[in-house]
Structure 1
């Protein structure tokens, strides 16, 4: 339930199960254990740097799964018999190799080191989405329904569990920005760790903040509207008017004014109209109707 999610998200995650198996313990640690929860078995060799890289990534992802999946490491140099048997059964001939076991049966496998995002996807296929992911999905649904207070509570619950969750910070900042609280949005973004400052999840909200600050400096739009009506080729006035209209929520007219600039002079201000349109699209989001409409109009001009 949506209203139960904040409490769920703030509960302590179960400790991750990470252990080393031996030939003698393999059945108990892997086969029998997989009857209770899925087990990821990593076959590795200490002689391989790639194996060490994979193990570090797997351990991080499994810990993030909060006890919904176990990780068992198997040193093939110390326990060649188990590796030989599994390798023959699954046609594996090199390490690192990772096998997912559920209910005593192999259900997924890969060979070689993978990026963290792919490791996470591998584990989630086995264990399902984490509680954090579920709450983030519910926050997005609340936003779509216009429930800003509910979405804020959900994002806050996630941050109580993961203070550096970039997507939750971006979501809270967007809510503040939509409410006109530009400084509050800036302060929330200042909480993003420096190591995650370039996370793609921040691009949209940063673009939206920049637009809000640009528009705030324009003041009343009546003068700009009069100037554009008087001189349709005053591209700077039309450009500024587009910024102001976008800030006031009139996205359709904002897009149309920038498209008009590009129709009249596509080279103006180093193709500034097209660049500003792309900034709009990034700030509004991929599925925003005005962004979709604007992309179509811009594409028509590009290929005209």
Structure 2
């Protein structure tokens, strides 16, 4: 697993106090831009602003420090800055405030505020959207290059790792997918997209031990009641990314014998759903058919 020590970017997001304000903000602003986020536990909008700022500070790759200041314990600082309520965001450079805003703003406006001071910020979410679009358009090489760049940056973005690992799985490069995900700390393995790819890897490894689909289909033709052949065929088809056909093989088992192998076909179908994702067309169609079989 990856080293879990604090990253340079993580060290640029701090909690400051009245006693540390000079050191954390004023002195640090002589070296780089410092953003002070004045927040309150009683204002829900503060959580949204905090999320926007931290996302952008991550994307800025160490060019700016973010200092959170609780208005309740930092009232004297807030009064000096003329801030009566939270949320309020003040930018410091060369030891003095240079820009700021008060109240909740949408992400794009917060990004625009920082870009006026820093220049363009490449946000991971925008790059991930671009990579997904490349995959949709069939530009796998372009998506691979962009995702390889994203997965080399700190802090580690599990979404980027999941998309790149999925490309490896689809190309039947299972060892590469596993090696990539091994770089993630255990806490990030719980991300829904990463968990989905891990399920896909497990399915692919099981399928690797089975025969070719043509051989399994021949077994079924010889004995239509060979439910194990249907099950093995489902795994093999899924490894070939033939999701609808894989699901249909398991549904056929359920139709013929609901309790086969202690409900094994339905359980495997659920594992497929986890690997494919809830919005995948094969998942949606197979769930509908499964419901029809179970509740008819």
State the TM-score, normalizing by the size of structure 1.
0.66
Give 1:1-304 correspondences, 5 Å limit: 40-43=37-40, 63-64=57-58, 66=60, 71=67, 73-77=69-73, 79=75, 98-100=86-88, 106-108=102-104, 126-127=110-111, 131-162=123-154, 164-304=156-296
Q: Deviations over 1:10-66 (max 9, x none)?
A: xx98x96876679xx9xxx9xxxxxx999632247xxxxxxxxxxx99996574253
Provide closer, same or farther for how the CA distance between residues 123 and 73 of structure 1 changes in structure 2, counting only shifts above 3 A: farther
Query: How far apart are the structure 1 equivalents of 2:244 and 2:51?
Result: 45
1:251–1:290: 8 Å Cα contact kept in structure 2? yes
Whether the 8 Å contact between 2:13 and 2:54 is mirrored in structure 1 is no
Q: Which runs of 5+ in 1 are unaligned?
A: 1-11, 30-35, 45-55, 91-97, 110-121
- Over 3 Å counting, the alpha-carbon distance change for 1:161 and 1:42 in structure 2 is same
**Stretch deviating more after TM superposition (66-75 or 159-168):** 66-75
For residues 102-155 of structure 1, the C-alpha deviation after alignment (integer angstroms, 9 at most, x for no partner) is 98664329xxxxxxxxxxxx8677437961221111111111111111111111
Counterparts in 2 of 1:20 and 1:181: CA distance versus 1, 3 Å: same
1:162, CA displacement in angstroms? 2.2
Tell me how far apart the structure 2 counterparts of residues 105 and 278 of structure 1 sit (CA, whole Å). 48
> 2:54, 2:66 within 8 Å by CA — same for their partners in 1?
no
Contact 1:38 1:100 in 2 (8 A): no
Task: Classify 1:125/1:208 alpha carbon distance in 2 versus 1 (closer, same or farther; 3 Å).
Answer: farther
* Aligned partners of 2:147 and 2:164 also within 8 Å: yes
Shift of 1:157: 1.6
SS of the aligned residue for 1:40 comes to strand
| Contact 2:38-2:70 within 8 A present in 1 as well | yes
Structure 1's 148 and 242: CA in aligned 2 closer, same or farther, altered over 3 A? same
> Take 1:141 and 1:268, find their aligned partners in 2: how far apart are those partners?
41
Distance 1:38 1:244 in 2: 54
Instruction: Quote the Cα distance in structure 2 between the aligned partners of 1:104 and 1:195.
Output: 35
Distance 1:152 1:278 in 2: 29
CA distance in 2, matches of 1:227, 1:270: 22
Structure 2 unaligned residues grouped into runs of 5+? 1-7, 27-32, 42-49, 91-98, 113-120
CA distance in structure 2 between the aligned counterparts of 1:177 and 1:220, rounded to whole angstroms = 18
